[in-house]
Amino acid sequence: MLYTNGRSLRSWRAKRFLRRSGYDFEVLDTRGHPEMLTELLKAVHHELVLPYVCIDHRPLGSFGVLRTLSASGGLAHLLRDNL
């Protein structure tokens, strides 16, 4: 799940990265949905930077965290554990 704030450059980069990496994902645009952001903030327990990635409704992190995990092989490990 990729939470975005509309058509920002970061959101576009995150979607492109996920597509190029071959991952299936769903996009939720938080614009106009403050309740969605409130729920996400409760789950994250720290500052929220959009776009934000969740795997099986569990918070993972921002696009920077996603890239770092992917480069280290941690993302593939997390996804494999969720199958």
Q: How many domains are there within the chain?
A: 1
> Residue 83: is its pLDDT beyond 60?
no
- What is the token pair recorded at 69? 């995990």
The CATH number of the domain holding residue 54 is 3.40.30.10
Q: According to the model, what pLDDT value does residue 82 have?
A: 59
Find the radius of gyration of the CA atoms of the chain: 12
How far is C-alpha 71 from the geometric centre of its chain's CA atoms?
Answer: 16
> Residue 76's domain spans which residues?
2-81
**21-30 pLDDT per residue, tens:** 888 899 999 8
Cα(82)–Cα(20) distance, integer angstroms: 20
